């Protein structure tokens, strides 16, 4: 969310940014916002003047009441008339103040609603394009290989280990759910445990957050469009199931003043994630690729504004390092302007190599949100000089095992159907080096 003062002083920059994000339908919102802002400031000024007048009139009546007691009968009439005139003005002012306060509330609500819709100013380095087809590959890490044997679909690999049951999950919960079992379930947990320790070794504090959050936190951490497309609401409660632990981890700082010496806050969090996952579901998005419930290890940073781009660079490279340590080839893909969520300043995806599809697919997403979430959630930092400012917030996936398992199984599958376990992961699998299929 942008500062209303920035929009007031730089309306054309805001309009151009909207055009760069290919959201021209939002352009009229800028003029509407500026008009409401002008009316709101006029109402605030008038209300302030009326309060000052009321105070003056009330003060003026004090001495008049004193004079009234000492006045002659002839003088009393004139003094009382003055008191009555002042009281009448106070009453009129009170009525107008009530009207203005109602107007201010209405203007403030409408301004806030528009501010939530206007996208954050993207970083100059972001490539311009309408959708994810314009995302730009920046760098590859590891050699993408295609074996000389056929690689089955990921659920078929899992089924060969008796490791997944989609049918039972369908009967219990419906489409988009799964049972993981045996070696595959153990592999799932091993990856999460390894990712946890990987981030702890990078100096991040491990955290398990609440898995439900209030509506004001949801509004603070994401756009309305993303909220409608993702979040499950608890019926009859002001609670939502989180779509990622970023939501409750950033929410942890709501309405807080952070001492500058506590920055950066570097946290890594585990949580289940719940998502509606509306939209197209092609053959490559079935199985455990696009699901309503999964688990994830996340990384969160709250830092000084001048440090956020350096942290952005570090964070996506942590993901690359982790995947390469698991012997999975990946690439970094810079997200274009039209593919950025409204709160994001800059974002990139880490995509893993799929030998079966012979292409890359998304496994991590790293984002710098500038001060947008901090402004919405009223997170402030008290500097060494005593002045307050807004911190920047960043988030990145460490691993999301159901999807990450697809890349893992495909890249470690052998011709005989077995799956090799990299050296770094073997201790989390009880020393196992190879998984042997049951069928």
- Domains plus CATH for the chain? 4-115 (1.10.287.40), 132-435 (3.30.930.10)
What band does 190 get if pLDDT is binned at 50, 70 and 90?
very high
Q: What ranges in 201-244 are assigned the alpha helix state H?
A: 215-221, 224-230
Q: Are 378 and 356 in contact (CB under 8 A)?
A: no
* Helix, strand, coil in percent for the chain, rounding step 5: 50, 20, 30
Residue 35 CA neighbour count, 13 Å, CB half:
5
- Report the mean per-residue pLDDT for the chain: 92
CB neighbours of residue 158 within 10 Å: 28
Sheet (strand 388-389) strand order: 257-259, 380-382, 388-389
What band does 82 get if pLDDT is binned at 50, 70 and 90?
low
Q: Are 345 and 122 in contact (CB under 8 A)?
A: yes
pLDDT for 198 equals 98
- How far apart, in whole angstroms, are the C-alpha atoms of residue 95 and residue 347? 51
pLDDT for 54 equals 73
% of the chain exceeding 90 in pLDDT:
80
What 3-state DSSP class applies to 147? coil
pLDDT above 50 for 371 = yes
pLDDT above 80 for 409 = yes
Contacts by residues 13-19 (CB-CB < 8 Å, ≥ 24 positions apart): 13/121, 14/118, 14/121, 17/119, 17/121, 17/122, 18/118, 18/119
Q: Are 161 and 184 in contact (CB under 8 A)?
A: yes
- How far apart, in whole angstroms, are the C-alpha atoms of residue 31 and residue 53? 33
More confident residue, 197 or 46: 197
% of the chain exceeding 70 in pLDDT:
91
pLDDT above 90 for 94 = no
Q: In this structure, what token pair is assigned to residue 115? A: 């501010």
More confident residue, 65 or 357: 357
Q: Are 351 and 360 in contact (CB under 8 A)?
A: yes
Q: List, in sequence order, every beta strand (DSSP E) within 304-391.
A: 330-334, 346-354, 359-368, 380-382, 388-389
What band does 1 get if pLDDT is binned at 50, 70 and 90?
confident
Between β-strands 380-382 and 257-259, what pairing exists: parallel, antiparallel or unpaired?
parallel
Chain position carrying tokens 């005139």: 85
Compute the average pLDDT of residues 90-115: 89
pLDDT for 35 equals 97
What 3-state DSSP class applies to 279? coil
- How far apart, in whole angstroms, are the C-alpha atoms of residue 310 and residue 368? 10
> Minimal CA–CA distance to 434: which of 404, 413, 411, 407?
413
pLDDT tens digits along 216-259: 999 999 987 778 788 999 999 999 999 999 999 999 999 999 99
pLDDT above 70 for 110 = yes
pLDDT for 343 equals 95
Q: CA separation (Å) from 41 to 80, 134, 360, 384?
A: 37, 41, 52, 32
Compute the average pLDDT of residues 397-405: 92
What 3-state DSSP class applies to 296? strand
Residue environment code for 42-74, b if the CB has 16+ CB neighbours within 10 A, otherwise e: ebbebbeebeeebeebeeebeeeeeeeeeeeee
pLDDT tens digits along 279-299: 544 555 567 888 899 999 999
Residue environment code for 235-273, b if the CB has 16+ CB neighbours within 10 A, otherwise e: eeeebbbbbbbbbbbbbbbbeeebeeeebbbbbbbbbeb
Length of the chain: 439
Q: CA separation (Å) from 364 to 193, 220, 317?
A: 17, 22, 11
Q: What ranges in 21-72 are assigned the alpha helix state H?
A: 27-70
Q: In this structure, what token pair is assigned to residue 337? A: 């302007």
More confident residue, 429 or 228: 429
Q: Which residues contact 307 (CB under 8 A, 6 or more apart)?
A: 263, 264, 392
Residue 153 CA neighbour count, 13 Å, CB half:
10
Q: Counting runs of H as helices and runs of E as strands, what totals does the chain give?
A: 13, 18
pLDDT for 280 equals 47
pLDDT above 80 for 83 = no
């Amino acid at each position: 969310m942008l500062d209303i003062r920035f929009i007031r002083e730089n309306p054309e920059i805001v309009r151009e940014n909207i055009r760069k994000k290919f959201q021209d339908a939002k352009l009229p919102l800028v003029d509407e916002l500026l008009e409401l802002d002008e009316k709101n400031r006029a109402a605030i000024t008038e209300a302030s003047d009326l309060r000052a007048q009321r105070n003056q009139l009330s003060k003026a009546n004090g001495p008049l009441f004193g004079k009234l007691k000492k006045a002659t009968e002839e003088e009393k009439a004139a003094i009382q008339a003055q008191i009555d005139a002042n009281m009448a003005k106070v009453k009129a002012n009170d009525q107008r103040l009530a009207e203005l306060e109602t107007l201010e509330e209405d203007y403030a609500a409408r301004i806030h609603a528009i501010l939530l819709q206007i996208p954050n100013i993207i970083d100059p380095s972001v490539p311009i394009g309408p959708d994810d087809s314009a995302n730009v590959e920046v760098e590859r890490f590891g050699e993408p290989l295609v074996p000389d044997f056929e690689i089955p679909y990921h659920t078929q690999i899992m089924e060969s280990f008796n490791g997944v049951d989609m049918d039972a999950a369908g009967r219990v919960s419906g489409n988009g759910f799964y049972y993981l079992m045996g070696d595959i379930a153990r592999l799932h947990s091993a990856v999460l445990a390894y990712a946890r320790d990987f981030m702890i070794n990078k100096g991040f504090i491990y955290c398990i957050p609440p898995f439900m959050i209030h509506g004001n936190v949801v509004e603070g951490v994401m756009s309305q469009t993303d909220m409608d497309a993702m979040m499950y609401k608890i019926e009859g409660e002001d609670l939502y199931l989180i779509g990622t632990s970023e939501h409750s981890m950033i929410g942890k700082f709501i309405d807080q003043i952070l001492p500058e010496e506590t920055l950066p806050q570097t946290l890594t969090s585990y949580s289940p994630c719940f998502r509606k996952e509306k939209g197209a579901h092609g053959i490559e998005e079935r199985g455990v690729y696009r699901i309503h419930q999964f688990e994830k290890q996340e990384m969160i940073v709250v830092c000084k504004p001048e440090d956020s781009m350096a942290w952005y660079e570090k964070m996506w490279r942590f993901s690359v390092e982790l995947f390469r340590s698991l012997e999975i080839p990946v690439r970094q893909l810079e997200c274009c302007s039209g593919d950025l969520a409204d709160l994001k300043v800059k974002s990139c995806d880490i995509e893993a190599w799929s030998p079966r599809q012979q292409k890359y697919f998304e496994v991590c997403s790293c984002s710098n949100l500038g001060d947008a979430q901090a402004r919405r959630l009223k997170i402030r930092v008290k500097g060494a000089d005593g002045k307050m400012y807004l911190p920047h917030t960043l988030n990145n996936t460490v691993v999301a095992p159901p999807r990450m398992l697809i890349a893992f199984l495909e890249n470690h599958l052998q011709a005989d159907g077995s799956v090799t376990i990299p050296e770094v992961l073997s201790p989390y699998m009880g020393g196992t080096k190879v998984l042997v299929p049951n069928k």
